[in-house]
Structure 1
Amino acid sequence: EDLIENIPQSLRLKEELSIPKAMSESELEDKICRIAKKNADFYSIKPLIGAGSYRHFIPEAVKFLLQREEFWTCYTPYQPELSQGTLQPIFEYQSYISRLTKMEVIIPSIYDGASATAEAALMSLRLTHKNKIIISNLLHPHYRETVKTYLTPHETEIIDLPYKNGLVDMEKLKILIEEDVASIIIQNPNFLGGIEKMAEISGIVHSKSALLINVIVESMSLGTLKAPGEMGVDIVAGNAQSFGMDLNY
C-alpha cells in the first residue's frame, strides 16, 4: 500500500483484470499446441514452397550439442592454445563437408550462405583477373542482393542469366559466356526447387576459362544429389543451417 499511496483513488483499478488465470507450464504448452494445430504446417501437407525451405529431420543429439557454448558463435578462434575444444568440432565439420561436396578445401567460418556466395564471387575475380560475373535468375533473391552489395565497390559487371521451364536456359548461357567472364553463379537445387544440370553447365563454363560457383541453400540435398566436386564445380558456397536448425523464416 505504501508503494501506491501517491496514486489517486480515481486512477486505481478497483476490479480484477479481464485476463485468464495463470497456467502451469504443461497447461500452457497444451494450449499453444492446440492453437498451432490450426495452421497448415510442413508435416501435415506436402510442402512445395521451395526457396530453400524444405522439410528435414534433425536428431535430438544435434540439438543437444548446439546448446554447448563452443557452438554459439561462428567466430574463428584466434588463440588455438585456448580453443582446442572448439577447433576439434570445426575440423570434424570441415571433414564431413569435404566428403559431402568432394571439395578439397573447406572454409567453415563464414557467417551465412549469402555472405559465402559473395566471398566466392570475390574469389573468382581475384583468381581470374576478370571483372564480369553471370548470376542465374534462379539464385535466391536475398543471396543476389548480398552479392551485388559486395561487388559494388569493385564496379563488377553483373549479367543476369534467364531460365526456361524452371532451369537455367542453356542456350542463353552459351551466348552470354565469353572469355572476359570471371565466373557464373548457379544455385542447385535452384530457387524453384529444380535440379540443375551442373555437369553440362560446367562444360560450357570451362570452355571459356571461367569458374563455376555452385550455391547450395539446402545442404541436406548433398545426401541425395551428386557431389559438386564430381560435376566440375570450382567453388561451392552454401548454408548448412538445415543440419541443425528447424524450418524458420
Structure 2
Amino acid sequence: MYTPHTARDIEEMLAVVGASTLDELARVPDAVALKVKLDLPQATAELDLLRRFEHLAARDTGIAYRQFLGAGAYNHYIPPVLGALAMRGEFLTAYTPYQAEVSQGSLQAIYEWQTYICLLTGFDIANASVYDGATATAEAAIMAINATGRRTLLVSRAVHPNYRTVLKTYADGLDAAVEEIPDTAGGTTDWPQLAERLAAKDVAAVIVQSPNFFGNVDTPDEAGRQAIKASGALLIGVVAEALSLAVLQPPAHWGADIAVGEAQSFGISLAYGGPYVGFMATTKEHLRRLPGRLAGKSVDAQGRTAYVLTLQAREQHIRREKATSNICTNQAHCALIATMYLAAVGNSGLKAIATENLRRSRQLATAVANVPGFRLAHQAPFFNELVVRVPGRAAGVLAALEAKG
C-alpha cells in the first residue's frame, strides 16, 4: 500500500482546518453508521495474495485460448519493450498537455505518430489520434458534411456494425441521413448499386472499409471511383485492422479522400475492448476541417528543433460552438504505445508481421475448406479474416471450439 501522508502530515493539515481527527471532516450519520467491526481476514503476504488472484483469474476465459473471432479486436504479439517504456511516468497520461510546448517529449511522440500514420495511409496530414476507429469514422463523416454542405451519408453494410452504429448516433445529432449500401454475395460492397444511388448528387460521403468486416479487400474499381468523384461526394476509407496497411494498397492510392481506422493492432492489448486508438489522415485540402490536435515541427529563436500544437484556432476550446468538431482531446497514451511499436518493429518488421498473418490466414482457409461440411463463404481476396459456412448452427460450432480451448 502506498500512503503518501505521514501521521505528522495529517496532524499538521488537521490543525490548519481546526479539526482533531479525520472523522470530523466527514461525519457518518448514526442512523447509517456501522456499529460492529467488519469480519475481515488478516493481512496477506504479497506472494500469497498474487497466487490467490492468479487462482481466481484462472477460472476466467483468458487470452491463452486460441482466438479466431477478430471483428475489430486482434490478439497480436506485443513486444515486452512497450510495457517497459510506455508505462514510464514521463509518458503515462491520456491527455495532450495543456501547456503544450513545455512537454517537448510528448509533442515529439505525437508528431512521430502522425508521421507513421501518413506513411501508412499515403496522405499528407494526420491528427494526434481520436478515441477509436468508430469515432474516427464518425468524425470523418462530419468533415464531409462540412466540406460539401450535404447531409446524406452512404455507408457500406460491409463496414463494421459497431462503426455504423456510432456513425448513426453522430448523424442523428446533425440531422444527417445515413443510408446503407448492401454487400454482395461475394462479401464486398455492391458498387454498381452505390454508383446508381450517387446519381442524385446529394451525398456528402461514401464510407467503405477495406479489409471489410468479413476480412475481404473491398476497394472501388475505376468506374466506382469515377462515380464518386463525379457526384461530388468524399470517399472515406476505413481500416479496422491497421496491420493490413503494411501489405495492401494504402487508402490514398485507391481513391480515398480521408483515411480513418483503428490502430489497436500496433501493440495495444485487447483490454476487454478498450481503450484503443483511432487514426485520421487526409489531404492538405481538408486540413482545417480535421478534428483533434495537430503537432507540428518548427525551430525556436536559437534555431533548435521545437514541437508545437499548431492550427489550434480551429479547435473547440477556441472556436466554441463554431468548431467543426466537439473532440478536443485524444488517446495520446495509446498513440504513444502504437508509435513505440512501429518504431520497434521497423518498416521491414511490420511488413514481415503482416505477411506472416497473410500466410497463416491462407493456411487456415485451406485447412477449413478441406473439412467436410465446411466451406469459405466468399472467394474475394482477404487479409487476416475470413467467413466460414458451417453445417448446422454457428453457435454450436463456437461452443465446441471453446470446449477445446
CA distance in 2 between partners of 1:56 and 1:203 (Å): 37
Partner of 2:383: none
**Pairs within 5 Å for 1:16-95:** 24=48, 27=51, 31=55, 45=66, 47=68, 49-69=69-89, 71-95=91-115
Return the offset for 1:187: 1.6
User: What SS is found at the alignment partner of 2:238?
Assistant: strand
- 2:170 is matched with 150
Give 5+ residue unaligned stretches, structure 2: 1-34, 274-405
Give the 3 Å change call, closer, same or farther, for CA 44–148 of structure 1 in structure 2.
Answer: closer
Q: What is residue 188 of structure 2 aligned with on the other side?
A: 167
Distance 1:129 1:34, change over 3 A: closer
Q: Which deviations, in whole Å up to 9, do the C-alpha atoms of 1:190-222 show, x marking residues without a partner?
A: 112221124544343223221110111221111
Taking the TM superposition and a 5 Å limit, the aligned residue runs for 1:1-249 are: 24=48, 27=51, 31=55, 45=66, 47=68, 49-69=69-89, 71-164=91-184, 165-178=186-199, 179-200=201-222, 201-247=224-270, 248-249=272-273
CA contact (8 A) 2:156 2:181 kept: yes
Q: What residue in structure 2 maps to residue 3 of structure 1?
A: none
1:129-168 C-alpha deviation (Å, 9 max, x unpaired): 1111101112222221221121213211211110012111
CA distances 1:52-74 after superposition (whole Å, capped 9, x unpaired):
13342222122222213454444
Residues 93-127 of structure 1 deviation map (CA, whole Å, 9 limit, x = unaligned): 11111111111010123222221111100000111
Q: CA RMSD in A?
A: 3.0
C-alpha distance in structure 1 between counterparts of 2:155 and 2:241, whole Å: 18
Evaluate the alpha carbon distance shift between residue 46 and residue 231 of structure 1 in structure 2; reply closer, same or farther with a 3 A threshold. same
Question: Hey, what's the Cα distance between the residues in 1 that align with 2:228 and 2:105?
Answer: 41
Q: Is the contact between residue 219 and residue 254 of structure 2 (CA under 8 Å) also seen in structure 1?
A: no
Q: What secondary structure sits across from 2:87 in the alignment? A: coil
TM-score with structure 1 length normalisation? 0.80
Q: CA, structure 1 residues 112+46, in 2 after alignment: closer, same or farther (shift >3 Å)?
A: closer
State, as a whole percentage, how many aligned pairs show the same letter: 37
| Equivalenced residues, count | 232
- For 2:194 and 2:87, how far apart are their aligned partners in 1? 45
Q: Aligned partner of 1:220: which letter? A: L
Tell me which amino acid in the other structure corresponds to 1:171: P
The 10-residue stretch of structure 1 (60-69 or 152-161) with the greater mean CA deviation from structure 2: 60-69
Unaligned runs of 5+ in 1: 1-5
SS in 2 for 1:194: coil
Amino acid at match of 1:93: W
Q: Provide closer, same or farther for how the CA distance between residues 143 and 74 of structure 1 changes in structure 2, counting only shifts above 3 A.
A: farther
Q: 1:73 to 1:30 in 2, by over 3 A?
A: closer
Assess if the C-alpha contact under 8 Å between 1:51 and 1:190 holds in 2.
no
Partner amino acid, structure 1, of 2:215: G
Partner letter of residue 210 of structure 1? A
Task: State the TM-score, normalized to the length of structure 2.
Answer: 0.51
